[in-house]
Amino acid sequence: MSIPVIKGNPKANIPIRSISKRSRIIKENLTGYAFISPFVIGFLAFTFIPILASLYLSFTNYNLFAPPKWIGLDNYIKMFTGDPRYWQSLKVTLIYVFAGVPLRLAFALLIAMMLNTASKAVGLYRSLFYLPSLIGGSVAVAIMWRNVFGDIGIVNILLELIGIPTVRWFGNPTAALWMLIFLSVWQFGSSMLIFLAGLKGIPKSYYEAASVDGANGVQKFFKITLPMLSPVILFNTVMQTIAAFMTFVPAFIISKGTGGPLDGTLLYSLYLFIQGFEFFNMGYASAMAWVMLIIVGILTAVIFSTSKYWVHYESEGGK
């Protein structure tokens, strides 16, 4: 094969290798694939294949040890017709999500607005408020929460000091669930940071114009801040809803893995864990995971479909 030479310009008499366009594209692509391969391999091996495996296992009686046997829809049928604890866990989780997420977002927004001032100490406060989230879903926070509100925890000691009768914070099922919800509200930091970024993005001129027109603070909040922030609110709502559905650690730690008292803190993931790793019904647990995926999927779709009524995008002319 003769080596082609670029003609026309005698000075540039450089031989180049003949590479067909196709093989060059492949080569370029290969480089690209090589660069993303760490993620792709990790994703396939540790996420995608396990997900598919769990779909298969959800139709079996897999018990962690013995080879799974196909049992069709039995797990799903049992879940919906023969397992009162499943419904209890679903109920608890829905309360946790529908009470916890709005509260957490409202709280995060409140703090974000407080921190969105030009004070000098703001940096310090921002870090301080973010601290609980930094140690986020960790075991330590849950243990601390349990001890702070335990029967002989610091809260009860303080109550006793000022002569108020002590409260069994984790004593009754409803109260215990609310303790979990408050714990999640307290860990508002990540949503707060996102809100803060959103607030910084609202042009000052809007507020100035509103002030000139004589709008008060409340009006400014509802007419400017909320609409301008709505894309961020949408993002936070979706992310937090998904995260709330998957909450496991605090419920596990605070109830000592039982979901008690009286299954009051039996969050969906915790019940899934109990079924899988305590009762060895891994097939059933896989089925539960898939139903959760579907529920979360539907909920997210609903949030997105309503978003056109309340989310305003600047780029679309405020629509």
Partner 1 sequence: MKKLLFSTLSLVMVVCAGCGKVDLLNLASSQEKERVTIKIAWWGEKPRHDYTMEVIELFEKTYPHINIEPEYAYWDDYWKRLAPLAAANQLPDIVQMDLLYLKTYSENNLLEDLTPFIDEGVINTDDISEDFLLGGKVNGAMYGFPLGLNVPAIIVDRDLLSSAIDSFPDSNWTWADYEEIVSKVHNVKGIYGTNGMKSVDVFFSYYLRTKGMNLYNNSGTGLGYEEDQLFIDYFEMQLRLLEKGAFPRADEEDQIKGIENGLLVNKLAPMTWAYSNQYIGISEAANRELDLIPPPGPGQFEGLTLRPSMHFSISKSSKNKEAAALFINFFINNIEANQIIKGERGVPISSTIADKIENVLSEDQKNVFEYVYKVKNNNPKVEKADPLGGIEVVSLLQDISDQILFKKITPSEGAKMFRTGANSILSNKN
- CB of residue 60 vs partner 1: minimum separation in angstroms? 14
- CB of residue 65 vs partner 1: minimum separation in angstroms? 4
Closer Cβ to partner 1, 24 or 256, answer by number: 256
Closer Cβ to partner 1, 227 or 260, answer by number: 260
Closer Cβ to partner 1, 33 or 46, answer by number: 46
Angle of helix 122-134 relative to helix 84-115, nearest 10 degrees, comes to 170
Residues in contact with partner 1 by CB under 8 A are 63-66, 82, 84-85, 150-151, 168, 170-173, 256-258, 260-263, 274, 277-281
Distance of alpha carbon 81 from alpha carbon 96, whole angstroms = 23
C-beta neighbour count of 258 within 10 angstroms: 15
Closer Cβ to partner 1, 129 or 170, answer by number: 170
- Beta-carbon contacts of 13 under 8 Å, excluding residues fewer than 6 positions away, are 5, 6
Distance of alpha carbon 100 from alpha carbon 276, whole angstroms = 26
Nearest to 76 by CA among 283, 295, 296, 293: 283
- CB of residue 279 vs partner 1: minimum separation in angstroms? 5
- CB of residue 61 vs partner 1: minimum separation in angstroms? 9
Distance of alpha carbon 212 from alpha carbon 210, whole angstroms = 5
Length of the chain counted residue by residue = 319
Distance of alpha carbon 41 from alpha carbon 39, whole angstroms = 6
Closer Cβ to partner 1, 233 or 272, answer by number: 272
3-state secondary structure of 114: helix
Distance of alpha carbon 78 from alpha carbon 55, whole angstroms = 17
- Beta-carbon contacts of 53 under 8 Å, excluding residues fewer than 6 positions away, are none
- CB of residue 183 vs partner 1: minimum separation in angstroms? 17
Burial class (CB in 10 A: 0-12, 13-18, 19+), 245: buried
Phi, psi of 247 (to 5 degrees): -55, 130
Closer Cβ to partner 1, 171 or 297, answer by number: 171
Nearest to 193 by CA among 137, 111, 103: 111
- CB of residue 244 vs partner 1: minimum separation in angstroms? 24
Closer Cβ to partner 1, 35 or 87, answer by number: 87
What residue type is assigned to position 46 of the chain? F
- CB of residue 167 vs partner 1: minimum separation in angstroms? 13
Closer Cβ to partner 1, 68 or 231, answer by number: 68
Nearest to 215 by CA among 206, 202, 204: 206
- CB of residue 138 vs partner 1: minimum separation in angstroms? 18
- CB of residue 19 vs partner 1: minimum separation in angstroms? 49
Closer Cβ to partner 1, 126 or 146, answer by number: 146
Distance of alpha carbon 137 from alpha carbon 254, whole angstroms = 13
